[in-house]
Amino acid sequence: MMFIINLSIVILILGAFSSTVPSMAVPLSLSSNPLISRHCHRLYFPSTSFKGNVSVLGANPCQILSLKLHSKRKTGKPQQFARPLVVSNQTAATASSSEAAVAPERFRLNNLGPQPGSRKNAKRKGRGISAGQGASCGFGMRGQKSRSGPGIMRGFEGGQTALYRRLPKLRGIAGGMRSGLPKYVPVNLKDIETAGFEDGDEVSLETLKQKGLINPSGRERKLPLKILGTGELSVKLTFKARAFSTAAKEKLEASGCTLTVLPGRKKWVKPSVAKNLARADEYFAKKRAAAAAASEPAASA
């Protein structure tokens, strides 16, 4: 009986409203919605400002959506219904369009974070059996590996000669030992003879590149030039190189060539070390001068 009375009241209210606004149709449908509370007695329209006041309906009637009548069936007693509830009828299409219209969330400092499940908290071992790792935490009961501390070094084999010491050294191979890597770009005298240099020409890294004798690449591009003594030279040239072999120096001086030894790249040292080196050079220079002055009177006598 309560259901019929409440339903008639709702229909009378909506009929009065439709008489004021004849062009607006308000369809009703009866359905069961278990999510709606039975204790609610007011009309709710989540998408509008209507809260069950007829004056609000008359003030702004165009905001009303289609209505849907829900009732919750009581379990165990058929043919008995709870109080009806009128809610707005939003279709699935309207809901999907509203979800698509929502702009995606932007990345900001307050919502940045790793993917869920990608980072896990590490278990603290050695904190008792209640920590989830057992009494010995998987390290065993005795031995060096069960003690605290950094453990054994990488590659340690218990005292025998380790593998990295048993293998031979890699000399002259990129990524191997530095002692075997080249320190100069070598050029022999026989190659300079066949390059077509004339009397008075200059032989340096730049001129040798222009002649096509050398084409350094990779690490060799930063290496200096060294003249080797294989072969003979029939023209007088001016050489500028970082180093000369003993045989090359003798042959070039005998043929009347001009040799210029270029200074090497200065190694950077700390200012305090450079100051001490300068003081040491000054000290030894004074000692040599004093020794030379003391030896002159003895030589004259």
pLDDT tens sequence across 255-276: 999 999 999 888 888 999 999 9
Percent of the chain with pLDDT over 90: 34
DSSP 8-state class, residue 81:
B
C-beta of residue 191 within 8 angstroms of C-beta of residue 203: no
Q: What is the pLDDT of residue 12?
A: 55
Q: What is the pLDDT of residue 283?
A: 96
pLDDT band, very low/low/confident/very high, at 52 (cuts 50, 70, 90): low
Give the CATH class of 180-261: alpha beta
Angle, vertex CA 72, rays to CA 68 and CA 77, nearest 5? 145
Considering the entire predicted model, what is its pTM? 0.39
The pLDDT of residue 92 is above 70: no
pLDDT band, very low/low/confident/very high, at 3 (cuts 50, 70, 90): very low
The pLDDT of residue 20 is above 50: no
Rounded Cα–Cα distance for residues 135 and 148 (Å): 15
Mean pLDDT computed over 210-238:
91
Mean pLDDT computed over 192-204:
91
Residue 89 φ/ψ, nearest 5 degrees: -100, 95
Q: Of the ranges 22-26, 227-231, 280-284, which one carries the lowest mean pLDDT score?
A: 22-26
Query: What is the amino acid identity at position 26?
Result: V
Rounded Cα–Cα distance for residues 208 and 203 (Å): 7
Q: What is the pLDDT of residue 29?
A: 41
Q: What distance lies between CA 243 and its chain's CA centroid? A: 44
The pLDDT of residue 211 is above 60: yes
Domains of the chain, by residue range, sit at: 2-91, 180-261
The pLDDT of residue 13 is above 70: no
The pLDDT of residue 251 is above 70: yes
The pLDDT mean for the chain works out to 75
C-beta of residue 251 within 8 angstroms of C-beta of residue 259: no
Rounded Cα–Cα distance for residues 115 and 66 (Å): 42
Angle, vertex CA 183, rays to CA 181 and CA 186, nearest 5? 110
Mean pLDDT computed over 243-265:
92
pLDDT band, very low/low/confident/very high, at 138 (cuts 50, 70, 90): confident
Helix (H) or strand (E) holding 97: helix 92-101
The pLDDT of residue 35 is above 70: no
Mean pLDDT computed over 193-215:
92
Rounded Cα–Cα distance for residues 227 and 243 (Å): 7
Q: What is the pLDDT of residue 192?
A: 93
Q: Extract the tokens encoding 78.
A: 């058929």
Mean pLDDT computed over 214-228:
90
Q: What is the pLDDT of residue 204?
A: 94
Query: Which of 39-42's residues contact partners 24+ apart within 8 Å by CB, and which partners?
Result: 40/83, 40/85, 41/83
**For 143-164, how does the pLDDT look when each residue is reduced to its tens digit (9 = 90+)?**
888 888 888 899 999 999 999 8
